[in-house]
Amino acid sequence: MEQIADVSITAESADWLADFTRSIVNDRLAACGNIVPSIRSIYRWEGAIEDDNEALVVLHTRQSLVPAIIERANRDHPYDTPQVLAVPVIDANPGYRDWVLASTLDADGHELPITSAGG
């Protein structure tokens, strides 16, 4: 059975992330996204240490859909180099895992019927 993954993406705006997440879920590239509206990011960029407020989304998806999410983020994200990190899920509630798989496109790009609620 296909594995699932969590994909984290940061952005300056929680509203932008909500719109982005809505489009990703609508296109069945992820089952859902959990948005944390305010995080503090400290990082080196172009030789300087930056300290910024950002928002974070964690998308729940199939591992096979991660490349499509990365492609979409690179296309739509306002940052030149958006943070997009995918982490394999090594274990999960079986019912939730099944819901993630049923709520996303399969390897052939087909929609499957959703059999249970998630969130």
Longest CA span, the chain: 50
Q: How far is CA 69 from CA 7, 48, 51, in A?
A: 8, 29, 26
- Tokens at 44, concatenated: 């080196």
Indicate if the pLDDT at residue 91 is higher than 70.
yes
For 107-113, what is the mean pLDDT?
Answer: 65
What confidence category does residue 1 fall into, taking pLDDT thresholds of 50, 70 and 90?
Answer: confident
State the total domains in the chain. 1
- Tokens at 53, concatenated: 């407020």
What confidence category does residue 107 fall into, taking pLDDT thresholds of 50, 70 and 90?
Answer: low
Residue 57, in any domain of the structure: yes
Residue 19, in any domain of the structure: yes
Range of the domain at 17: 4-102
- The CA distance from 54 to 46, in Å, is 18
CATH number at residue 76: 3.30.70.120
Residue 113, in any domain of the structure: no
Q: What average pLDDT is seen over the chain?
A: 92
Predicted pLDDT at 47: 96
Residue 117, in any domain of the structure: no
